[in-house]
Amino acid sequence: MSLGEGTNIIVPKVGMKFQDENEVFEFYKNYAYQIGFPVRKRSSRKDDDGVVRYVTFTCSREGCRLSGTNAIMKPQPTMQTGCKARLTACSELNGIWRINTINLEHNHKTSPSKSRLYRCNREINARVRRRLEINDVAGIPLHKSFNSAVVEAGGYDKITCVEKDCRNFIEKVRRLRLGEGDAVAIQAYFSKMQATSPGFFFNIDLDDEARLRNVFWADNRCRQACKEFGDVVTFDTTYLTNKYEMPFAPFVGVNHHGQSTLLGCGLISNEDTRTFVWLFRTWLQCMHDQAPSGIITDQDRAMQKAIEIVFPNTKHRWCLWHILKKLPEKFGGHGYKASILATVHGLVYDVQSCEEFEQGWNKMLEDYELLEYTWLTGLYNERSRWVPCFSKTSFWAGMSTTQRSEGINAFFDGYVHSKTSLKQFVEQYERALRSKIEKEFQADFKSFSHMVPCATKYEMEKQFQSVYTIAKFKEFQEQFTGKF
């Protein structure tokens, strides 16, 4: 059944309330489908905490195209008619969204029968995508595959895409399947690296149709670094994706200068448990089955399950930076949000015992009437996974996601980006790695040729001065002198 078909038209009205922004948009989109006009998100505004509080959805035919002088005599077709139909909504203090204003008048014709052709309503469902892929591998022309999908759906008016959408989809699949020679080129490149660089390790995972699905690699320096700095590892897939939308998945440690150091990396096609299990097992094999003592990730359930399977004895912790980043949105428009966030921050970073934390947490729930925020209970129950809460040493705290992400950004920025092909990616990775090695060598030289004078006459400070690098001794010295 098409969107909105067979249902009564519910007209938007000022004061209507919804659970979140997405529910507002889906409601307006459903109404637009039944009336027969396209919609889009026009604009939004955020509060001081970066949380979206106000949105405007409009008819997609709003606005006017500005044409240059060369186009005056040859104007091109345009959807834009300057239509003023729109809906605005905002988030109230309790987090509920409310429609503020609504304009239902259009300056153009509308037609429900044509709604399925507007881009905002078109999508290829999973069943059709799979059929298109199978037929393409079998050599069946696309127009025949599309006609088959139309017949199976029960007619053109029952299918949620047009032939052009299917053609674009297949072209993208072919690029991924063939990788424009990337899969073969990567294997040849890695084989060359393995022959010329002792200790170079790689593994390529192909699917049943011989398409590149996942890839992992690490040079000998990464493998040696893992022996020294692989006790605590951070793992994140949010830094960037390549041109085929394959997330970059680096394993990162911190070296003796406090610098981020790469311990191997992969490109993956999915972020499900099966993929993470393959990647973690491959990394473990590469690192001579030396599992880390601890691993820090965001709150990804598929990742958590894979860690339990591959690293059963490894302490898995969630990055506190990710958790705290979500809190402003979670508290919505609570009147004491700023005070709540400050209290949580103090509990996390300043308490010295579990008992003190629990007392402060319960007091916060009572003072700010937060008992109705049921998600807080789940967060509290998982508090043992937070980093660095309840940790009295820098063992975990020194591995914050902020530090790690900044390090990885600085590591790869200028070398790879979202349009980088697979082969280009691994080649640029080598260049980035050489640059990182040089920076570490320079830090080694500085610690070799320079010295930070002791600030006190205590023998303990001299002992740390003699064995620590400059970066780490300065961290110790700041904490040591702060005790006085």
Coil, helix or strand at residue 65: coil
Coil, helix or strand at residue 188: helix
Task: Tell the burial category of 342 from Cβ atoms under 10 Å away from its Cβ (0-12, 13-18, 19+).
Answer: exposed
pLDDT of residue 8: 81
pLDDT of residue 414: 57
Amino acid at site 180: E
Question: φ, ψ for residue 95 (rounded to 5)?
Answer: 90, -10
Contact 422, 212 (CB under 8 A): yes
294-297: strand order across its sheet: 201-206, 212-218, 260-268, 248-254, 232-235, 294-297, 315-319, 386-387
b/e burial code for range 397-424 (CB count within 10 A of at least 16 → b): ebbbbebbbebbeebbeebbeeebbbbb
Give the span between the Cα atoms of 479 and 474, in whole angstroms: 9
* Helix or strand holding residue 301 (H, E): helix 301-310
Tell me how far apart the terminal alpha carbons of the chain are, to the nearest angstrom.
73
pLDDT of residue 313: 93
> With helix as H, strand as E and coil as C, how does 15-60 read?
CCEECCHHHHHHHHHHHHHHHCCCEEEEEEEECCCCCEEEEEEEEC
52-59: strand order across its sheet: 17-18, 97-103, 86-91, 52-59, 39-46
Give the span between the Cα atoms of 337 and 328, in whole angstroms: 7
Amino acid at site 394: S
Contact 110, 59 (CB under 8 A): no
Structure tokens at 171: 């072209």
Give the span between the Cα atoms of 113 and 105, in whole angstroms: 19
Contact 320, 399 (CB under 8 A): no
pTM: 0.53
Cα dihedral sign for 341, 343, 346, 351? negative
Give the span between the Cα atoms of 264 and 286, in whole angstroms: 9
Which residue shows structure tokens 């591998």? 137
Cis link prior to 77 (omega < 30° from 0)?
no
Contact 59, 77 (CB under 8 A): no
Contact 275, 214 (CB under 8 A): yes
Give the span between the Cα atoms of 323 and 327, in whole angstroms: 7
Give the span between the Cα atoms of 434 and 415, in whole angstroms: 12
Q: Classify residue 458 by its DSSP letter.
A: -
Question: φ, ψ for residue 90 (rounded to 5)?
Answer: -140, 160
Three-point CA angle 292, 248, 429, nearest 5°: 90
pLDDT of residue 321: 74
Task: Report in angstroms the alpha-carbon separations of 375 from 49, 63, 301, 379.
Answer: 20, 41, 16, 6
Give the span between the Cα atoms of 449 and 211, in whole angstroms: 51
pLDDT of residue 306: 94
pLDDT of residue 368: 85
Three-point CA angle 76, 77, 82, nearest 5°: 110
User: If the chain, 484 residues long, is cut into consecutive pieces of 10 residues, what is the mean pLDDT of each piece?
Assistant: 57 94 94 94 83 92 67 68 94 90 94 90 90 83 89 89 89 59 73 85 82 85 87 78 65 83 84 92 93 87 91 87 78 81 84 83 85 70 57 36 46 58 66 74 83 87 88 86 80
